[in-house]
A = this chain, B = another copy of it.
Amino acid sequence: MFYYQNPAEGLAIREVNRVVEEAFAEHGRGRVQMPPKLYVTFDHGDFRTMPAYIPSLSLAGVKIVNVHPGNPRIGFPTVMALLIILDPGTGIPVAILNATTLTDLRTGAAGGVAAKYLAPSRTVTLGLVGSGRQAAAQLDAIAAEREVTEIKVWSRNEKNAVSFCRKYSSLDCTVAPLEKVCDCDVLVTSTPSREPVIRDDWIREGTHINAIGADAPGKQELDPGIIQRATVFVDDPAQAVHSGEINVPIAKGLFSPERIEGTLGEVVLGRKKRMSRDEITIFDSTGLAIQDLAVAEIAMKSRERVALRFP
């Protein structure tokens, strides 16, 4: 058994996108096992337990990931993750990965894959609502799939948006008011909001939205009006209904699970797609354990590892 301290280092975004795309394809084919993630809640956060098995990769495992919004105040990341990999043949644990950065990457990759198939055009303008680690991961992954000509960024704390654009100074990246950010081809929302931050009348026809922030019951970023007039794709129906962007609209009777058009896996397989240039499409991402497994497969090539005695 090995512990991988820094397995994200050196991974190529394009390769991450490809293995995550293939995991979604297997999900679309119904060839994975993935019970819906389990939540355990604390006073100041929670943790999620995410087991899965991808037979075609001969890879099984469990991701354990916390969300503690107050952590940055005491010098810890909000989200930290470990990934345990088992050998399907014997059940023996073969690897433990520090999966905090891998989690950013695989969530970004899902957004990249969604943009590849659902963006209205090959060349796109990008709007980022939220400017944290996930906004960067989405930008990296989307830019690996589409030609991004312009990036507009909004953050509740403007300083963060400014510093985000500084990091991407080689691109046309500017801070903008929320309404202007929403006027784009591909919009990424990655805030921890529990109230809609994006108004319905700010979203023009043809926009594709990666709705990333809502990943637990009660969280939402989009006005339900947007969801009502959009074509909604999800990563996994069970998880999306429970904790994705659509969870609050469903709880309020403003959206119905039957209105989900399909999964990203079905989109990757070509079974579902954007039907017109004017359609608004939404990819509702909750994060799947199979994405973690897929990335682990290439991350375990890292040499920065420690051998541990087991059993």
Contacts and interface: CB of A to CB of B under 8 A. Distances in A.
Interface in A86-121: 86, 88-93, 96, 98, 100
A60 to B, nearest CB: 6
Q: Which DSSP category, helix, strand, loop or mixed, fits chain A's interface? A: strand
Interface string A70-97: 0100101100101010101111110010
Contacts of A62: 49, 62, 64
A35 B38 contact: yes
A62 B40 CA distance: 10
Contacts of A66: 86, 90-92
A144 interface: no
A12 interface: no
What is the copy number of this chain in the assembly?
A: 2
Contact of A60 (B5, B47, B53): B47
A90 B64 CA distance: 13
Contact of A38 (B44, B51, B86): B51
Contacts of A90: 45, 66, 68, 71, 74, 76
A303 to B, nearest CB: 15
Contacts of A49: 35, 38, 49, 51, 62
A120 to B, nearest CB: 38
A67 interface: yes
A96 B41 CA distance: 20
